[in-house]
């Protein structure tokens, strides 16, 4: 299973994906004038080179996380992954950070939650692609007044200038706008000196990237008078060519033509060569005919002479009188060459007949009629092709690879070709043997295999326009609309932070009953897309079909879906359909973490940090939790909040650092972060005490379904903290907490009942103590069992009768009354179909 993660399928078309970021409009620090303009020029450069290009300007931290996840999903299994960043960046302790536009970096913990660690970006790219290229125009002065920041377990000083050297792994190139520790400049023009030079040099056809970067270095040194020297660190073992031009002009190999002697120059009707990669074509005459002369615009064309490809249809043949009686054979051989060295050979075979006498006149009339019919027919072909494309609207599924557009043109005339007049704003057009670019053309025979792959995360329809032509005659425009569509299975069962997913995703309790059928249909339609098998597994788990779910998840993992590997670990960790096995769970968590999955990083990091089923490694565990948090995983943020609140396993406690992670979780609408941060506002840990802020956070978490927030708010009403004391409201909230699986809420509800003294209903107290023990899977409230044991037989019998009456089906009971109470309480709670993600 794990072997599939390190293999890349061979394909006729290189999968090349670029993420181009330009941050100019900073909110807390000085703006930069060039990056927002750089991003337009550089993204156009990569699009011209045939890349699937993700473009972003002025990204906040949250926006970066969202768009980077979409990019990583697109990069999965790619040949070349590129990130180009223009904006602020600086180094701390040898680590480089890219700065989103909303970063303030005022507190020591802010770098971890507000900035982007370059090495994390590189590791994610490395786990998904064969070759990684990172290009940074970010080596400006550090604009932040604070000098020391937390990095892992140390407070380190930020460098004032430039970026640090990066050690690249195998098959990686990292390019900097200037040498390590030095400053890059915006320059006087609209583009930075580095971006301007890169855009210009990167489009040189068939130039290896290290040659391109050498040319960029020369240009920047000259433009800055030696003040800025671009630098790169390369461990490439494969050739990387950005602007690959390996196609050749398209020509019919052999044509035939009847030419009359003595009739003057006769049109040869040679089709214009099609240059599939754009640019111009020249034609050389390798072997001219021997029975007459080639003519172009009244002038003779000799052997070896060059003409423009667009002029080829205007070539004529002039055969003197007296030749062709009897009929003779002749030929013309020529070669078409493009700008990048591609070459195609063409040949025209002549049958020369005499044009004299009645017979010649008849042949001449027949040829003229044939030529008129051919012109008319080609016009019909062009019109028919335009009509077959014009105004078509095609839905194209996202995340299933390149999809055939199935365009059926009513002609196979080799003289008809299509030029891409308007390339789609997102996604890529391709043929089975090559990617298309905004300058590409294709022959009429290639249209039937034209494909489009929508960009992951893009939802807006895109327009594609063609110019359809036949030789140098009249052309017709045609355009169509391609609409990216998300498969219903993704909408019904996609998961948050799935780096091979295509949607924001749903939590387990949000998956509806229809998801199973929708995902079964997706698996049938796309059997090779592992994501759908995983989402089917999630849907089956939500429906309670555990054995079927485990089978589908295993199949997804076997096919390389990384989140499915994590899910297998989760099943072993929780004993869902299998015996609890912490070692097996950790093995799956580690495998998922190695492939960059934030869920895997969090669970494996938690295990290492705490020594759960593995020898404790606090440093590695902390590093994994920080990496997961940097990807936007709020569970990791909450773990870090707890670690820094208390100080655990040798890691220094820092309340402000804890609050920074909890605030980051709240920013991402995490209900667990809301509850934890609310508790900080009540206690004043890391923030000033603010009961109103706590109440607002608890209420929002309750609205989102958080299981422990009702208990947190109930205690405020019970104790009259920040609100007027209201025991009835406290009772209602403790009961809500119990229904959501909060053992502490159940315990407090039992205690609240007993505080009523003579008015207490002991059966109610027993009921909630039974729920407390049933829900306390980690034995966090050992006193609950002892308290339950102190009650008499009568309230226990009453509580047991009531609980059994709530069950829809009977369950076998044995043992003491206390054990029966706990077992039935657990069954009542499970019957309510609780959230599977609570524990």
CB environment 117-150: b (16+ within 10 A), e (fewer)? bbebbbbbbbbbbbbbbbbbbbbbebebeeeebb
Give phi and psi for 54, each to the nearest 5. -95, 125
For 559-581, how does the pLDDT look when each residue is reduced to its tens digit (9 = 90+)?
999 999 999 999 999 899 999 99
pLDDT at 442 over 60: yes
pLDDT attached to residue 146: 79
User: CA 482 from chain center: how many Å?
Assistant: 19
Q: What is the pLDDT of residue 810?
A: 85
CA distances 591 to 290, 531, 588, 599, Å, are: 72, 17, 5, 11
Residue 9 has pLDDT above 60, yes or no: no
Please give the distance of CA 91 from its chain centroid, rounded to a whole number: 27
From 32-36, 98-102, 171-175, 592-596, the region with the lowest mean pLDDT: 32-36
Q: Find out whether 586 and 604 touch, Cβ atoms under 8 Å.
A: yes
Portion of the chain with pLDDT greater than 90, in percent = 65
Residue 464, pLDDT above cutoff 90: yes
In the predicted structure, residue 7 carries a pLDDT above the cut 60? no
Number of neighbours of residue 192 by Cβ within 10 angstroms? 28
Give me the pLDDT at residue 1, please.
Answer: 35
- Report pLDDT digits (tens) over 451-461: 999 999 999 99
| DSSP character at residue 707 | S
Taking only the tens place, the pLDDT of each residue in 740-796 is 999 999 999 999 999 999 899 999 999 999 999 999 988 899 999 999 999 999 999
pLDDT-based confidence at residue 474 (cuts at 50, 70, 90)? confident
Range of lowest pLDDT (171-185, 209-223, 383-397, 424-438): 171-185
Residues contacting 686, CB < 8 A, separation 6+: 645, 655, 656, 657, 658, 659, 680
| Contact partners, residue 628, CB within 8 Å, separation at least 6 | 598, 599, 601, 602, 605, 635, 636
d(CA 100, CA 23): 7
Starting at the earlier edge strand, list the strands of the sheet with 306-308: 254-261, 343-354, 328-338, 281-287, 306-308
Q: Mean pLDDT: which of 187-196, 435-444, 794-803 is highest?
A: 794-803
11-43 burial string, b = 16+ CB within 10 Å, else e? eebbbbbbbbbbbbebeebeebebbbbbbbbbb
How many of the other CB atoms lie within 10 Å of CB of 282?
Answer: 16
Range of weakest confidence among 188-192, 617-621, 700-704, 723-727: 188-192
**Tell me, what's the pLDDT at 73?**
96
pLDDT in tens, 681-738: 999 999 999 999 999 999 999 999 899 999 999 999 999 999 999 999 999 999 999 9
Six token digits for residue 712? 């947190």
Q: Please write the tens of the pLDDT for every residue from 121-157.
A: 999 999 999 999 999 998 767 778 778 888 887 878 8
What's the chain's average pLDDT? 90
- Report the share of the chain in percent with pLDDT over 70: 93
Please determine, for residue 231, whether its predicted confidence score (pLDDT) is greater than 50: yes
Q: Which tens digit of pLDDT belongs to each residue from 382-418?
A: 888 899 999 999 999 999 999 999 999 988 887 888 9
Does residue 820 carry a pLDDT above 50?
Answer: yes
Summarize pLDDT for 69-85 with one digit per residue, the tens: 999 999 999 999 999 99
Q: What is the pLDDT of residue 433?
A: 86
Provide the whole-model pTM. Answer: 0.87
> Token pair of 583, please?
């070692």
Q: What is the pLDDT of residue 551?
A: 97
Average pLDDT rounded to a whole number, residues 248-253: 75
Report pLDDT digits (tens) over 264-321. Answer: 888 888 888 888 777 789 999 999 999 989 999 999 999 999 999 889 988 998 988 8
* Cβ contacts of 253-257, under 8 Å, gap ≥ 24: 253/345, 253/346, 253/347, 254/347, 254/348, 254/349, 255/346, 255/347, 255/348, 255/349, 256/348, 256/349, 256/351, 257/317, 257/348, 257/349, 257/350, 257/351
Going by pLDDT thresholds of 50, 70 and 90, the confidence category of residue 680 is very high
Q: Has residue 8 got a pLDDT over 70? A: no
4 DSSP 8-state letter: G
């Amino acid at each position: 299973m794990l072997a599939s993660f390190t293999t890349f399928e061979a394909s006729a078309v290189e999968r090349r994906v670029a993420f181009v970021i330009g941050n100019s409009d900073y909110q807390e620090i000085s703006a930069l004038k060039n990056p927002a303009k750089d991003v337009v020029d550089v993204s156009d450069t990569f699009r011209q080179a045939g890349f699937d290009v993700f473009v972003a300007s002025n990204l906040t931290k949250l926006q970066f996380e969202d768009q980077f996840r979409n990019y990583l999903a697109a990069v999965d299994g790619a040949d070349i992954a590129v990130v180009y960043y223009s904006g602020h960046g600086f180094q701390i302790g040898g680590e480089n950070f890219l700065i989103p536009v909303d970063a303030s970096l005022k507190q020591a913990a802010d770098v971890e939650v507000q900035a982007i660690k370059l090495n994390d970006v590189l590791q994610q790219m490395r786990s998904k692609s064969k070759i990684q290229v990172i290009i940074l125009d970010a080596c400006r002065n550090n604009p932040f007044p604070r000098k020391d920041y937390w990095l892992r377990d140390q407070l380190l000083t930020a460098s004032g200038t430039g970026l640090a050297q990066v050690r690249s792994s195998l098959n990686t190139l990292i390019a900097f706008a200037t040498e390590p520790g030095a400053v890059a400049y915006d320059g006087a023009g609209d583009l930075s000196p580095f971006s301007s030079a890169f855009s210009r040099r990167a489009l040189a056809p068939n130039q290896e990237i290290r040659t391109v970067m050498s040319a960029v270095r020369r240009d920047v040194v000259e433009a800055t008078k030696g003040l800025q020297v671009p630098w790169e660190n390369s461990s490439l073992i494969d050739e990387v060519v950005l602007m690959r031009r390996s196609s050749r002009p398209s020509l019919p190999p052999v044509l035939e033509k009847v030419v009359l002697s003595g009739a003057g120059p006769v049109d040869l009707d040679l089709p214009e060569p099609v240059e599939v990669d754009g640019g111009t074509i020249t034609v050389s005459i390798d072997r001219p005919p021997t029975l007459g002369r080639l003519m172009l615009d009244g002038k003779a064309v000799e052997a070896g002479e060059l003409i423009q490809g667009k002029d080829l249809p205007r070539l004529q043949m002039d055969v003197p009188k007296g030749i062709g009686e009897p009929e003779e054979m002749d030929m013309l051989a020529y070669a078409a060459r493009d700008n990048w060295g591609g070459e195609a050979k063409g040949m025209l075979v002549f049958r020369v007949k005499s044009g004299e006498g009645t017979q010649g006149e008849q042949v001449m009339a027949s040829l003229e009629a044939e030529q008129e019919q051919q012109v008319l027919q080609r016009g019909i072909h062009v019109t028919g092709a335009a009509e077959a494309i014009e105004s078509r609207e095609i839905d194209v599924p996202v995340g299933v690879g390149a999809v055939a557009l199935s365009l059926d043109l009513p002609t196979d005339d080799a003289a008809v070709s299509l030029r891409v007049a308007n390339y789609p704003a997102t996604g890529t057009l391709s043929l089975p043997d090559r990617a298309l670019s905004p300058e590409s053309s294709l022959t009429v025979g290639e249209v039937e295999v034209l494909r489009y792959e929508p960009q992951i995360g893009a939802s807006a329809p895109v327009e594609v326009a063609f110019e359809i032509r036949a030789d140098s005659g009249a052309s017709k425009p045609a355009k169509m609309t391609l609409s990216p569509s998300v498969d219903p299975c993704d909408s019904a069962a996609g998961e948050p932070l799935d780096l091979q997913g295509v949607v924001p995703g749903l939590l387990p309790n949000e998956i509806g009953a229809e998801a199973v059928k929708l995902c079964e249909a997706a698996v049938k339609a796309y059997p090779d897309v592992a994501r759908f098998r995983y989402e089917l597994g999630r849907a089956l788990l939500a429906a309670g079909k555990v054995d079927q779910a485990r089978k589908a998840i295993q199949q997804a993992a076997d096919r390389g879906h990384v989140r499915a590997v994590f899910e297998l670990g989760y099943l072993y960790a929780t004993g869902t359909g299998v015996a609890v096995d912490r070692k097996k769970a950790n093995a799956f968590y580690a495998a998922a973490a190695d492939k960059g999955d934030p869920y895997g990083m969090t669970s494996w990091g938690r295990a290492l940090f705490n020594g759960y089923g593995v020898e404790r490694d606090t440093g590695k565990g902390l590093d994994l939790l920080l990496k997961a948090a940097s990807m936007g995983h709020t569970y990791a943020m909450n773990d870090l909040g707890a670690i820094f609140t208390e100080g655990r396993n040798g890691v220094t406690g820092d309340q402000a650092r804890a609050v920074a992670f909890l605030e980051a979780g709240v920013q991402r609408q995490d209900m667990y972060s809301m509850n934890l941060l609310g508790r900080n506002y009540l206690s004043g840990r890391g923030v000033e005490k603010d009961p109103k802020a706590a109440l607002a956070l608890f209420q929002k978490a309750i609205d989102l379904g958080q299981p422990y927030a009702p208990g947190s708010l109930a205690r405020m009403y019970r104790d009259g903290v920040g609100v007027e004391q209201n025991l009835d409201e406290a009772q209602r909230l403790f009961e809500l907490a119990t229904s959501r699986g909060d053992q502490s809420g159940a315990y407090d509800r039992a205690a609240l009942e007993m505080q009523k003294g003579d008015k207490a209903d002991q059966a109610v107290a027993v009921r909630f103590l039974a729920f407390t023990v049933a829900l306390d899977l980690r034995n966090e409230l050992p006193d609950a069992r002892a308290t339950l044991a102190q009650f008499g037989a009568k309230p226990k019998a009453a509580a047991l009768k009531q609980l059994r009456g709530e069950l829809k089906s009977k369950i076998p009971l044995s043992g003491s009354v206390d054990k029966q109470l706990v077992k039935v309480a657990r069954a009542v709670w499970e019957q309510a179909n609780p959230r599977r993600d609570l524990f």
